[in-house]
Structure 1
């Protein structure tokens, strides 16, 4: 009986560990806060951490994914990494899931993120030369949107598997049967092409519309080579964003983008990337290019982010 009891206790412990790992939570130092919108007075929820120090610290603004909100746990590793490094951390809501006009790269969502940065600066001594932005998927979309809409803020923007052209993604989701085209229609007022007003909404919510304003912002764009096949966002979105930021001589051709996207392989016309230990053994860069202030990496993987690579790159960025 004693042995059976001990065995049951051990099994309970193992199950508890497994559940707690699957249901990963933010560290207890990360606390919920409310931030009043400067645009419409609505209270925005956010998660916030500030190191208990008297000197200025970097700030990481982490953005939730497409279908989630400020409680999204995808960014737990970014909170943990910020705590380890003594950075401040804010995880704003910016109007929640991208399925209504107020969300999805809207003016209100942009304003909410700026409000979050301003709020942190009133609460914590922030090194303004080291304010960083990062996000994956829908968070990657909004990271690039903010790079163009508020370029004066950021010392570095790390965007992973982003949506950069909302109308193109609508077409791709209709073709693949992914539900996100419904979200876009709810956000933009209908399908692309239904009216000039709706088309303007798709345009305004697309980072490609604004990235030209971010030419002086260090931007790191990443995509797993199988995304769009095993994941929801074709890597053409990342490649076209890089092309917009790059010098003519460094832009890749439409044929190369098509090959990348359809074959999930690096075209023979492009050089293979050098190893980068920050990406880990299983997700090494396959192709990388740098031009002006932008870098793009196509890595061995899918629809994901690699936190170690995010911190390795952001940690090197500082406004001069």
Structure 2
């Protein structure tokens, strides 16, 4: 069995030409290993690159809270977009499911994503003005965290239904003081409940602590209005995250009232319609032609732009809408003001309707 190794600046890339394709992924996607610049461990990732000799954008996709680098449910859609557009793609492990001290936004997990970007820059022709980051749920948490921890990397960050405050989310997953699975995951990562001496660690792993550093990064935060009821992350997490990058923040009392009532405060401006949030066709494999042509309607219910940041609440749950997410990213350039108007949206791949889950 043939295996090749490339050594560059402390990174190790391994690729097996006969390695079986991971279940659910496109045959062209390959597994690599990247040596951590912190603990020198070999960290896996999935990747694809075009044959083009010209520089191309790089999309970094992030797995969800309970997932890892093999999770195809979201990653396959990110990869397909890159294949269709000729972009580079990488899907890092960043220490896997969020239930160990090394995961859940730790310094190691953060550096793993930086290392993955550096590996692609060293081994592929990457347009460094077009490096994008995308994630939903636990991936949304990490996308927002990376926007704040390493704003110098990103041309655009698209975060969907992400956890913005670890301690608050732990509290939201207690029933009469008893932790559910997600609260237990947090305790496993922190070594106990996020109180007393562990509270600072929880804060460090929370996007709210770092997002003020992301004010120059085009950042698109999206959250379904039913999340927290049908889904595990109350949509107020998205609103509070937006406040950290906004020059005109939303009133915290009105955020809380919005979540409790699901009724937009009367003094918040009604949004314009966005065609990319409605009329999205369902295209799941095996679906009947009749059902496949029925549109997915997730209209925008609230939207606010402040500087390079935008918050969108849509009529949905704990999910990502790939068409608006990926088309928005494609317009962004590093060091330039965020572009919000999408005039000529590109089609998404056959798997890219919506995907939810932690």
Q: Give the TM-score normalised by structure 2.
A: 0.80
Please show how residues 228-267 of structure 1 align to structure 2 within 5 Å. Answer: 228-247=228-247, 250-267=248-265
Shift of 1:29: 1.6
Shift of 1:265: 2.9
Partners of 2:214 and 2:37 lie apart in 1 by: 23
Partners of 2:111 and 2:298 lie apart in 1 by: 35
Partners of 1:268 and 1:81 lie apart in 2 by: 39
Find the counterpart in structure 2 of residue 14 from structure 1.
Answer: none
Partners of 1:38 and 1:89 lie apart in 2 by: 21
Please show how residues 1-320 of structure 1 align to structure 2 within 5 Å. Answer: 25-73=24-72, 74-175=74-175, 178-193=180-195, 195-196=196-197, 198-247=198-247, 250-281=248-279, 282-320=297-335
Shift of 1:179: 1.4
| Per-residue CA distance 1:236-263 (angstroms, 9 max, x = gap) | 110001011111xx32212321122122
| Per-residue CA distance 1:93-129 (angstroms, 9 max, x = gap) | 0000000100000000001000000111112100000
Shift of 1:44: 0.8
Partners of 1:64 and 1:146 lie apart in 2 by: 14
Is contact 1:178-1:232 (8 Å) kept? no
Is contact 1:279-1:285 (8 Å) kept? yes
Partners of 1:235 and 1:293 lie apart in 2 by: 20
Partners of 1:303 and 1:156 lie apart in 2 by: 22
Partners of 1:53 and 1:158 lie apart in 2 by: 26
Find the counterpart in structure 2 of residue 7 from structure 1.
Answer: none
- Stretches of structure 1 that go unaligned for 5 or more consecutive residues are 1-22
Shift of 1:272: 1.9
Is contact 1:24-1:76 (8 Å) kept? no
Cα distance change, pair 238–38 in 1 and its aligned pair in 2 (3 A)? same
Shift of 1:274: 1.2
Partners of 1:50 and 1:265 lie apart in 2 by: 45
Partners of 2:305 and 2:180 lie apart in 1 by: 32
Secondary structure at the residue paired with 2:174? helix
| Per-residue CA distance 1:181-226 (angstroms, 9 max, x = gap) | 0000111111122x32x11111110011111111111100000000
- Whose helix proportion is higher, 1 or 2? 1
Aligned residue pairs: how many? 294
Shift of 1:311: 1.1
Secondary structure at the residue paired with 2:32? strand
Partners of 2:229 and 2:97 lie apart in 1 by: 23
Shift of 1:270: 1.5
| Per-residue CA distance 1:116-154 (angstroms, 9 max, x = gap) | 001111121000000000000000000011111111000
Find the counterpart in structure 2 of residue 12 from structure 1.
Answer: none
Partners of 1:265 and 1:306 lie apart in 2 by: 22
Structure 1 segments, 4+ long, off by >3 Å, are 175-178
Is contact 1:235-1:260 (8 Å) kept? no
Partners of 2:301 and 2:254 lie apart in 1 by: 14
